[in-house]
């Protein structure tokens, strides 16, 4: 009880009030501890330190340590609260009660290089304010007691998350990586690269937002020496050095962050690290570790193609084939999220089989049809279903007819036109569709109605026989419904409504 008061964790009055809950007579230490913790006088961490007889480490500057929330080789991170009677003029932290305090381990405080690296992280962090980067608010550079005050994130690291999961669903993995890329892009806009991209340096909040942390190895881009080749100054930077040496790029190439972010994405999707893990320095410096990475589609069969494309491009070994900036990486991850959200899109091949791909961006998903009517002359039921569904999703009204002759008869000269555009498919109808397409363009009452003919590009006789015009076009098979929609939009843009 006396130690609690001596180290400043509570006033004597608070301690005595807690003790008062216990029955009079001989005190039991376990009961006393239980009451102190229940009343909030002590936390578990504080109790352990009190019992050890510690007199220090309860406070860092204006912050009282509550719990240990992370421990690494170089530093420990504590959950801490700001002392109530300390007022801060910093509007950025006003109203905040809980913070993270990162403390350099004692054994490194006499090592100039480690202390400089620790303080460097703080200086870099002070410059960065972004929803996907953990904010640093204050640096205490006292060599006897160096610490950083940071934003407290309720959650866990990606590394801890992956210990509980074999792999993440593609949508979840892509969303988290988009957050990571957004943080990288912001840092890059200020000329800062991270240089230590790994799962343990990404925090995931309880709301599911990913935030970059630990810019201790961050580098300001050296634009004056682009030919400088990577060295290996630090064991933590060894993988970066190996990549940059192996690909013959200068040290601190910003594309290196993208590669290792891609490796993180790989592990989120597969549950397995992309690179062979080893403690051997020479093996880690060998470029063969990067050359032997199996493509993600071989490790996780059935991944959506957009996810495969983004992951593989981020992990391209040749730097000029990789994403050149974090902003490009971020943009493709956003498109990937939108396509996953839109769901699978069916592509019709020349043989009539349906191939599944993934949808368009959200901004392309507007109903461009606006009630326009498209007549489709197609005899294959599966193809009818695919085209009908995809055009209706874009606002078109679809009139499906399997007989070309019956389709032509629907355009009675005495009645209004039943459709704004007609699509003739040669996939099964062949020459019948070509003949109907030509007659449709020759008849006086249909000559001005837009028309499209779908034809296999190998069917040269059909292509040469088709009579085209600016409002009468051919589209190649195999067909992507997006191509058909694009052609419809162009043909109907200047066509008056029926």
What pLDDT was estimated at residue 276? 82
Specify the CATH architecture of the domain 2-151: 2-Layer Sandwich (3.30)
Q: Name, in order, each residue with C-beta under 8 angstroms of 108's C-beta and a sequence gap of 6 or more.
A: 74, 114, 115, 118
> b vs e for 129-145, b when ≥16 Cβ sit within 10 Å of the residue's Cβ?
ebebbbbbbbbbeeeeb
Instruction: Mention the CATH class of domain 358-492.
Output: alpha beta
| pLDDT given for residue 228 in this prediction | 39
Work out the end-to-end distance of the chain between its first and last CA atoms, rounded to an integer number of angstroms: 90
CA-CA distance, 448 to 471, in Å (whole number)?
Answer: 8
* Rounded average pLDDT over 11-16: 90
pLDDT at 231 over 70: no
Interval 450-475: pLDDT, tens:
999 999 999 999 999 999 998 999 99
Task: Name the average pLDDT for the chain.
Answer: 86
Strands in 59-60's sheet, in edge-to-edge order, are 59-60, 63-71, 75-82, 98-104, 147-151, 136-140
Separation between Cα atoms, residue 128 and residue 183, nearest integer Å: 9
At 121, list the tokens.
């992280």
Question: Is the pLDDT reported for residue 345 higher than 90?
Answer: no
pLDDT of amino acid 431: 95
**Distance from the Cα of residue 428 to its chain's centroid:** 43
Q: Which of 260-269, 276-285, 320-329, 411-420 has the lowest mean pLDDT?
A: 276-285
Please tell me whether the overall predicted TM-score, pTM, comes out greater than 0.85 for this model. Answer: no
Q: What are the residues facing 100 on neighbouring strands? A: 79, 150
- Please spell the DSSP secondary structure of 316-327, one letter per residue: -SSGGGS-SSHH
- What are the sequence ranges of the domains in the chain? 2-151, 163-340, 358-492
**Could you read off the pLDDT of 141-189 as tens digits, one per residue?**
887 889 999 999 999 999 999 998 889 999 999 999 999 999 999 999 9
Collapse the DSSP code of 121 into the 3-class scheme (helix H, G, I; strand E, B; otherwise coil) and give the result. helix
Of these ranges, 14-18, 291-295, 412-416, the one predicted with the greatest mean pLDDT is: 291-295
> Architecture of domain 163-340 in CATH?
Orthogonal Bundle (1.10)
């Amino acid at each position: 009880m006396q130690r609690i008061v001596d180290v400043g964790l509570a006033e004597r009055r608070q301690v005595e009030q807690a003790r008062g809950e216990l029955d009079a007579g001989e005190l039991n230490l376990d009961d006393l501890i239980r009451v102190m913790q229940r009343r909030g006088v002590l936390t578990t961490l504080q109790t352990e330190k009190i019992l050890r007889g510690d007199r220090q480490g309860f406070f860092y500057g204006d912050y009282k340590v509550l719990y240990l929330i992370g421990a690494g080789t170089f530093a420990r991170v504590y959950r801490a609260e700001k002392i109530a009677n300390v007022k801060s003029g910093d509007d950025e932290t006003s109203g905040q009660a809980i913070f993270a305090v990162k403390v350099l381990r004692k054994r490194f405080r006499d090592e100039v290089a480690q202390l400089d690296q620790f303080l460097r992280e703080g200086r870099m962090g002070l410059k960065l304010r972004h929803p996907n980067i953990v904010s640093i608010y204050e640096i205490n550079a006292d060599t006897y007691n160096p610490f950083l005050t940071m934003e407290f994130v309720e959650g866990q690291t990606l590394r801890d998350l992956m210990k509980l999961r074999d792999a993440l669903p593609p949508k979840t993995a892509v969303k988290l990586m988009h957050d990571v890329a957004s943080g990288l892009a912001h840092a890059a806009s200020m000329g800062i690269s991270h240089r230590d991209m790994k799962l343990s340096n990404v925090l995931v909040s309880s709301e599911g937002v990913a935030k970059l942390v630990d810019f201790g190895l961050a580098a300001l881009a050296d634009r004056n020496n682009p030919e400088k080749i990577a060295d290996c100054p630090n064991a933590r930077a060894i993988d970066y050095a190996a990549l940059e040496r192996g690909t013959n790029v200068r040290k601190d190439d910003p594309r290196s962050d993208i590669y290792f972010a891609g490796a993180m994405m790989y592990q989120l999707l597969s549950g397995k690290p992309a690179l062979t893990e080893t403690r051997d320095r020479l093996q880690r410096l060998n470029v063969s570790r990067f050359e032997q990475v199996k493509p993600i589609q071989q490790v996780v069969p059935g991944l959506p193609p957009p996810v495969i494309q983004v992951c593989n491009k981020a992990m391209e070994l040749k730097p000029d084939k990789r994403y050149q900036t974090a902003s490009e990486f971020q943009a493709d991850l956003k498109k990937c999220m939108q396509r996953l959200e839109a769901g699978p899109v069916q592509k019709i091949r020349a043989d009539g089989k349906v191939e599944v791909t993934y949808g368009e961006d959200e901004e392309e998903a507007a109903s461009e049809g606006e009630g326009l009517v498209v007549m489709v002359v197609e005899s294959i039921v599966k193809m009818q279903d695919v085209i009908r569904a995809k055009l209706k999703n874009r606002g078109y009204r679809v009139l499906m007819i399997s007989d070309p002759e019956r389709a032509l008869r629907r355009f009675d000269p005495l009645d209004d036109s039943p459709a704004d555009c007609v699509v003739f498919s040669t996939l099964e109808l062949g020459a019948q569709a070509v003949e109907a397409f030509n007659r449709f363009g020759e008849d006086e009452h249909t000559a001005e109605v837009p028309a499209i003919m779908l034809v296999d590009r190998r069917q040269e006789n059909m292509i040469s026989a088709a009579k085209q015009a600016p409002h009468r076009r051919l589209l190649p098979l195999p067909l992507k419904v997006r191509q058909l929609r694009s052609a419809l939009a162009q043909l109907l843009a200047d066509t008056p409504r029926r």
